[in-house]
């Protein structure tokens, strides 16, 4: 009897081990061959359309966002708010839009009524001149001198519309030698010495510290631009879009923006 029980045990154990081994292979192999890696599963792209004046701050916030969301890449399209708004309305794939004025944001929200933008910062103009200020510009009325070469943003873009407001408030008329499509291009004319002065955002003067000088003028307070931001309702990466907007509106986002010269709304 004892021998019989030992024989049955000796046969049963190897069989059980074989079955267990087959079962283990059956459950493990599919997971190894078909399950994506953690990096692949989390790999996503977030596309942000933003005003040119936000280039420095949003690039920094984009890196912060990527660190907080491993596997995510933030792709930026910086440019004239008016141009970006038209691209979005025409179907360009964008998740977030940050504009330099409510008017350009309205172009997008009129086409997508579900969009509810939030104003996150404000910005105002300064006169930018080369470091050595060869034309000796000291105030806004100096820009009316026909000998002073001035660059302005085109009127249809936010920095251009602000310049028109400021000049109207001062009762002045300036004839620019060039009209640029965004504030970065306008400032570049000063940096290259192609013009004697330009009206650009204070934040852009700060970003170009060492290459240009900024001159405050009181009429700038009459032409302050509010900057709205929105996660677009048909965003391909909707959840990430909301999180990016949350970052911009957070204290961390405010710290980055105010350090660059933006004002709280």
b/e per residue 113-138 (b: at least 16 CB within 10 A): eebebeebbebbbbbbbbeeeebebe
3-state DSSP percent of the chain in helix, strand and coil, to 5: 50, 20, 30
pLDDT-derived band at 242, boundaries 50, 70, 90: very high
Q: Find out if CATH 3.40.80.10 is the number for domain 42-122+226-259.
A: no
**71 secondary structure, DSSP code:** T
Q: How do residues 55-72 score in pLDDT, each as one tens digit?
A: 999 999 999 999 999 999
Q: How do residues 73-106 score in pLDDT, each as one tens digit?
A: 999 999 999 999 999 999 999 999 999 999 999 9
| pTM of the predicted structure, to 2 decimals | 0.81
pLDDT for the residue numbered 234: 83
Left if phi > 0, otherwise alpha if psi is -120 to 50, otherwise beta: which for 48?
Answer: beta
pLDDT for the residue numbered 43: 54
Which secondary-structure segment (H or E) carries 164? helix 158-170
Left if phi > 0, otherwise alpha if psi is -120 to 50, otherwise beta: which for 161?
Answer: alpha
Query: Within 10 Å of residue 55's Cβ, how many Cβ atoms?
Result: 19
* Stretch(es) of the chain classified as CATH 3.40.190.10: 42-122+226-259, 125-222
What rounded mean pLDDT belongs to the chain? Answer: 87
Q: In what order do the strands lie in the sheet with 197-201?
A: 178-180, 150-153, 197-201, 125-130, 212-215
What percent of the chain shows pLDDT beyond 90? 79
Please report where in the chains the tokens 């038209």 appear, as a residue. 86
pLDDT-derived band at 210, boundaries 50, 70, 90: confident
**Residue 8 pLDDT exceeds 50:** no
CATH of domain 125-222: 3.40.190.10
Query: Within 10 Å of residue 191's Cβ, how many Cβ atoms?
Result: 15
């Amino acid at each position: 009897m004892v021998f019989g029980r030992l024989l049955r045990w000796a046969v049963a154990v190897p069989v059980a081990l074989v079955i267990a081994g087959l079962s283990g292979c059956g459950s493990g192999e599919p997971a190894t061959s078909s399950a994506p890696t953690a990096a692949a599963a989390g790999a996503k792209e977030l596309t942000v359309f933003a005003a040119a004046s936000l280039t420095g701050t949003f690039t920094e916030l984009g890196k912060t966002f990527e660190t907080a969301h491993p596997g995510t890449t933030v792709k930026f399209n910086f440019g004239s708010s008016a141009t970006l708004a038209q691209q979005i309305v025409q179907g360009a794939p964008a998740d977030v839009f940050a504009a330099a004025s409510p008017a350009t944001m309205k172009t997008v929200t009129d086409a997508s009524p579900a969009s509810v933008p939030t104003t996150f910062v404000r910005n105002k103009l300064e006169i930018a001149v080369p470091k050595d200020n060869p034309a000796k510009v000291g105030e806004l009325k100096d820009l009316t001198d026909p000998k002073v070469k001035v660059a302005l943003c085109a009127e249809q873009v936010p920095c251009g519309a602000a310049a028109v407001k400021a000049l109207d408030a001062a009762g002045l008329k300036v004839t620019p030698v060039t009209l640029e499509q965004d504030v970065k291009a306008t400032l570049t004319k000063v940096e290259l010495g192609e013009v004697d002065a330009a009206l650009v955002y204070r934040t852009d003067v700060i970003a170009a510290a060492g290459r240009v000088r900024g001159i405050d003028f009181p009429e700038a307070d009459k032409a302050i631009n509010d900057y709205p931001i929105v996660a677009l309702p048909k965003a391909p990466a909707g959840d990430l879009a909301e999180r990016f907007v949350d970052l911009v509106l957070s204290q961390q986002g405010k710290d980055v923006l105010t350090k660059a010269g933006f004002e709280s709304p």
